[in-house]
Amino acid sequence: MSKLALGSHPFLLGFEQLERLVERTAKTDQNGYPPYNIEQTGETAYRVTLAVAGFGADDLSITVEDNQLVIRGRTSDEPGQRAYLHRGIAARQFQRTFVLADGVEVSGASIEHGLLHVDLMRSVPEPVVRNIKIRKSQE
């Protein structure tokens, strides 16, 4: 008995990219820094919140690249500027990616109290019903 790949099931026509998407999502698992939450804030609205203590708005960038939300952080702290006796607040550079479904758009971002909030909205497509005309073969 052979096992069918997820994207090659006969009823999933045109979903060849689904398997690649699942593989890409598995590769985005990072070291856990910075910690984050994902919450549903409405029927079609979501919020990704990252704990970014020590980062300012100028130290962060948010981009959408090929249906991936990419959040990067880089501190402008030069080594040697401060003499830490203990450094427990990690402010190292990071890149955190989230794969977005088709139709999900970033609607805004804000930073407050050391938390970066990225708001997402999913557009709901209108249902489309089309009748397909059947041609008669020329006999």
At which residue do the structure tokens 């856990």 appear? 32
* Peptide bond just before 10 cis, omega within 30 deg: no
Q: Is the model's pLDDT at 37 over the cut of 90?
A: yes
Q: What's the pTM?
A: 0.73
Q: What are 47-75's pLDDT values in tens digits?
A: 999 999 889 999 999 999 988 999 999 98
Where does the pLDDT of residue 24 fall: very low under 50, low under 70, confident under 90, or very high at 90 and above? low
Q: How far apart are CA 102 and CA 84, in angstroms?
A: 45
Q: How far apart are CA 60 and CA 58, in angstroms?
A: 6
Where does the pLDDT of residue 20 fall: very low under 50, low under 70, confident under 90, or very high at 90 and above? confident
| Least confident range of 50-59, 77-86, 95-104, 118-127 | 77-86
Cite the residue boundaries of each domain of the chain with CATH code 2.60.40.790.
Answer: 32-122
CATH level 2 (architecture), domain 32-122: Sandwich (2.60)
Q: What is the DSSP string of 67-113?
A: TEEEEEE---PPTTSS--S---S----EEEEEEPPTTEEEEEEEEET
Mean pLDDT of 25-38: 77
At which residue do the structure tokens 């609205």 appear? 45
